[in-house]
Structure 1
Amino acid sequence: MPAPSREAPRSTRRTLLRGAAVAPVAALLAACESSAPSSAPTPTAGGSAGTAGPSDVRRGPGAARTLATGIDVPWSIVFLPDGDALVSSRDTGRILRVAGDGRTQVVTTVPGVVSNVDQGGEGGLLGLALHPRFASDPWVYAYHSTSTDNRVVRMRYRDGRLDRPRLVLDGIRTSVHHNGGGLAFGPDGHLFVSTGDAESSASAQDRSSPNGKILRVTDTGGTPGGNPFRNPVWSYGHRNVEGLAFDGRGQLWASEFGDQATDELNRIERGGDYGWPAVEGADGPGGYRDPLATWDTDACSPSGIAVLHGRAWLGALRGECVYSVVLRGADRGRIRRYVEGHGRIRAVAAAPDGSLWVGTSNRDGRGTPRSGDDRILRVTFP
């Protein structure tokens, strides 16, 4: 039977996990190799950490202000050069432009998007990213589910609209649950893509499969030099990474759903094995990369992630808050919770003006929607 979704975690103890059905090899790789401290468990310390700017753990965000309402399951938020944002709507396949005053406009509907929302599904239109040279190469990248796979496409942005999708990457196995979907361009100009194990846990350790991985590809989908396995795989042993973000030092961070034990914030390294399905958290046998911070699965379910003010900010679906985690210094790994009282939180993005934009996820089939949901919140810092 498929494993239960970890977007709605169950309460269990920490444990080692072993045993899974063998996953098929995907065609993609077959030809090439509150401001009070949270009640979460003490975070693990896993390696050195980076930062996007000065860190002041005493400074927390102010109250969240509603910016836009009536958005159907916002999954990802990225910012245009003028400060407006593009927001993906998971179940409708729409990409909306959201202005700083809250006005919204549909800029495209991505064809072929399948969300399986009637089955409690987690697929659909997921992550977005802008080309790093957007001013001269105005491409918008999108990760989405279809009836046959998960894929990455790109669309040219012009005159306030997005044109037809061009394929960048396909053949990532899809399932009702565990579809991943994070996108982020690195400082090297290459695109990093997070994929889920698609409910076949053994695929996470199969380096010829794109599932259960973080992939690194060129802006057109090729395999760049410097990858550890001569294919798109950058790191492996992941269950379901939905959030990717780089800090100001070029370090990649990822938010990952655990299964029966531990949700994680991981520092992603080239060729790293993050342990799934053998272990969750940092208490397994040697050879795996340990997370910087962990939570019991009832306390978090981390999805979107941003790096701002020396901290990672993670949207928590089950935790119904935004967690911050200090990334360096004496307080490295310290967790606090903010942005409470709005229900399930998924999307988190650092805006050009130094604020955070946060998307609720109360209409995803697992929340308790209220009037105006879902909404985009803006969180400023004093």
Structure 2
Amino acid sequence: MRKLWTIMLMAVLTACSSGLASDGDVPPAASGGPGQPKDVATGLAVPWAIAFLPGGDALVTERDSARLLRVRPDGKATSLGTIPGVRPEGEGGLMGVAVKGEQVFLYYSADQDNRIVRYRLSGDRLSDERVLVRGIPRGGIHNGGRLAFGPDGYLYASTGETGNDRLAQQRDSLGGKILRMTADGAPAPGNPFGTLVYSYGHRNVQGLAWDPSGRLYATEFGQNTYDEVNLIKAGGNYGWPEVEGKGDDPRFVNPIVTWSTGEASPSGMAYAKGSLWVAALRGERLWQVPLKADGSAGKPVAHFTDRYGRLRAVTSAPDGTLWVGTSNKDGRGSPRPGDDRILSITPS
């Protein structure tokens, strides 16, 4: 009997001493994790970003088809058309989308650069196209692409260094940066360098989110060792390519979370219920990153590991759920029946 109890105790201690937490297939009631995902829309092709309209419908970009879709909460999807000028190739194509009233903002790869454009949406009709920002470096990889309006009312955009490391440290380049601008594409008042650049030293940022205190967080792809979540400060230098992950150089801002690249490759991110929710591409899971009162991070918890494949888009919906998009048709995944899809998940 004593031997049996010893074996049981060792098993419990082994389970408790594992690394990053994961709910695996434990039911939400037992794990305290999010509710079971429900399909909102299926049969999509690389849904890159999701943004909600004032009436509750969502706009969804498809990277490789360059289509902009309108998706209702009941899952009905309508194409608003193919965005002109988009040249999908590699990791480029139609990427970020943001909404402000009747205005729709898109980030896309053109022939020679990445651009941010603005349209007016009336019903299902796009009009009044205006290019706000040209000349963002584009490449076969690392094009950034996230767009989001911050609580300050300004538009933020994430860019990548296209595999050209030196661009990240060049403050006169738009590559490897987080940009902050007005709705007309001008540098936002108070930007640290008087340009569009808000922070620099980034490798490839694809996720932006704010907490209720107005703090900005960003996900960032590492190279071979560490992926990151960073707390973004105006004018901050986040170290690439001089440092990957946490370092000891006071010139650079350290991340609040790091993962091995096999666990994450973090893309879209949203805030809900006291946590950041991060979509993992290579890691094929949804990371929950609890936030502390000072903006630092608690221990990340992995949800739905290997269940839905590559995850890219995460957005908070008006009803309090998270809409999460898969990316299994992007050339690096294994499509499953119904892919690509948008899932609705209730955070906890």
TM-score (norm 1): 0.81
Residue 303 of structure 1, CA deviation: 0.3
User: 4+ residue runs of structure 1 moved beyond 3 angstroms?
Assistant: 36-41, 329-332
Letter of the 1:213 partner, please give it.
Answer: K
Q: Call closer, same or farther: CA 1:38–1:255 in 2, change over 3 Å.
A: farther
Contact 1:38 1:337 in 2 (8 A): no
Residue 296 of structure 1, CA deviation: 0.5
Partner of 2:298: 333
Residue 196 of structure 1, CA deviation: 0.1
Q: Deviations over 1:230-251 (max 9, x none)?
A: 1111000000001111222211
In the aligned structure 2, how far is the partner of 1:329 from the partner of 1:152?
34
Partner of 1:158: 122
Residue 285 of structure 1, CA deviation: 2.1
User: Please, which of 57, 61, 67 is the counterpart of residue 34 of structure 2?
Assistant: 61
In the aligned structure 2, how far is the partner of 1:59 from the partner of 1:219?
40
Contact 1:155 1:164 in 2 (8 A): yes
Unaligned 5+ runs, structure 1: 1-35, 42-57
Q: Call closer, same or farther: CA 1:70–1:365 in 2, change over 3 Å.
A: same
More deviation in 295-304 or 221-230?
221-230
Partner of 2:54: 81
Letter of the 1:83 partner, please give it.
Answer: G
Unaligned 5+ runs, structure 2: 1-15, 22-30
Partner of 1:130: 99
Secondary structure, aligned partner of 1:184: strand
Residue 164 of structure 1, CA deviation: 4.8
Secondary structure, aligned partner of 2:166: helix
The within-5 A match list for 1:214-229 is 214-229=178-193
Secondary structure, aligned partner of 1:75: strand
More deviation in 246-255 or 144-153?
246-255
Contact 2:157 2:180 in 1 (8 A): yes
Partner of 1:17: none
Partner of 1:114: 87
In the aligned structure 2, how far is the partner of 1:188 from the partner of 1:380?
27
Contact 2:70 2:80 in 1 (8 A): yes
Q: Call closer, same or farther: CA 1:260–1:254 in 2, change over 3 Å.
A: same
In the alignment, structure 1 residue 142 sits paired with structure 2 residue 115: no
Residue 37 of structure 1, CA deviation: 11
TM-score (norm 2): 0.89
The within-5 A match list for 1:1-382 is 39-40=19-20, 59-116=32-89, 121-131=90-100, 134=101, 138-329=102-293, 332-340=297-305, 341-381=307-347
Secondary structure, aligned partner of 2:247: coil
Residue 284 of structure 1, CA deviation: 4.0
More deviation in 333-342 or 63-72?
333-342
In the aligned structure 2, how far is the partner of 1:38 from the partner of 1:300?
18
Secondary structure, aligned partner of 1:143: strand
In the aligned structure 2, how far is the partner of 1:332 from the partner of 1:64?
25
